[in-house]
Amino acid sequence: MKLVFAGTPEVAVPALDALIASGRHEVAAVVTRPDAPAGRGRRLVASPVAQRAEEAGIEVLKPVKPRDEAFLARLREIAPDCCPVVAYGALLPRVALDIPAQGWVNLHFSLLPAWRGAAPVQHAVMAGDEITGASTFLIEEGLDSGPVYGTVTEEVRPTDTSGDLLTRLAFAGAGLLAATMDGIEDGTLKAVPQPGEGVTLAPKISVEDAHVDWAAPALRVDRVVRGCTPAPGAWTVFRGERLKLIQVALAPERTDLAPGALGVGKNNVYVGTGSCAVELLWVQAQGKKPMRAADWARGVRIGSGEEVGG
């Protein structure tokens, strides 16, 4: 088939690579978000997908909005059979959805109908799911509600951050998306409507969602930290400034600390929660680089009775 691939961030690159490498289909063009400011200089930088497409000599389309007439006209000229999508980042209007004969097929990082929305991997980690996965489905105008072509499953490991899990799903999902294109082309794959039961939503995680509640059980604190790593980053407040929490570990042996209370040893830093304590392993103070929590504690000289939170 002739394909137009839509995607933007680094997590979409493995799927583009898989489609290019398959040799079975022609990736005629790539649709991605416009160049965005990045780095200290805030200069405009092309998306990871755009950079990879340019390396491969593939035409890159960067509409400000996918309903722009110039973009729609070019898409009609290309006349793709199908448009595979991975984390494109913009809603597709009906007029665009109708152009490819086989529609737009999205790779979504959950086992639909679970975790429909922008942050499925983060929500899976924060909810304590033991199994998640990826799904390919035909895009409709509803939120991730279209019929499903195929799925792959992936175990959520006890120490997984959302970044760890998303990296594995990006590669597993790339193979699934390539296989889905093959199945659509040869007619062996039919999309199956999603069940009406088991629908959960995964809206974007806000900075406030990543604010750790020390009155919650330690298991919840650990899940929030892992689910919000690397973005938006779990955080608390210490001496009136934000302290980013990069990695913690459950400390069931410490039940003597009130929620938010700090307990500092020679090489360990503990914080009380609504159950047992957690040990802070890696933190990042405002304006500083990430560091081991024990080194941070020595630098700030935590006094008796000090706490985090607020």
Structure tokens at 250: 């459950």
Give 87-105 pLDDT, tens digit per residue. Answer: 999 999 999 999 999 999 9
> Is 306 among the domain residues?
no
Structure tokens at 106: 């999205």
Q: Residue 7 has what pLDDT? A: 98
> Is 102 among the domain residues?
yes
Domain that holds residue 222: 207-300
Same domain membership, residue 198 and residue 57: yes
> Quick one: pLDDT band at residue 150, thresholds 50, 70, 90?
very high
pLDDT for 40 beyond 90: no
> Is 58 among the domain residues?
yes
Q: Do the bridges between strand 148-155 and strand 131-138 make them parallel or antiparallel, or are there none, so unpaired? A: antiparallel
Binding site feature residues for (6S)-5,6,7,8-tetrahydrofolate: 110-113
Same domain membership, residue 172 and residue 37: yes
pLDDT for 142 beyond 90: no
Q: Which amino acid is at 73?
A: A
Give 197-228 pLDDT, tens digit per residue. Answer: 999 999 999 999 999 999 999 999 999 999 99
Long-range (24+ apart) CB contacts under 8 A made by 283-288 are 283/243, 283/244, 283/245, 283/246, 284/233, 284/243, 284/244, 284/246, 285/238, 285/241, 285/243, 285/244, 286/241, 286/242, 286/243
Residue that finishes a domain, picked among 157, 174, 202: 202
Instruction: Provide the 3-class DSSP secondary structure of residue 301.
Output: coil
Counted domains in the chain = 2
Same domain membership, residue 237 and residue 281: yes
Q: Residue 42 has what pLDDT? A: 86
Tell me, what CATH number does 53's domain have?
3.40.50.170
Q: Which amino acid is at 202?
A: A
pTM beyond 0.85, yes or no? yes
Binding site feature residues: 110-113
Same domain membership, residue 237 and residue 123: no
pLDDT for 85 beyond 80: yes
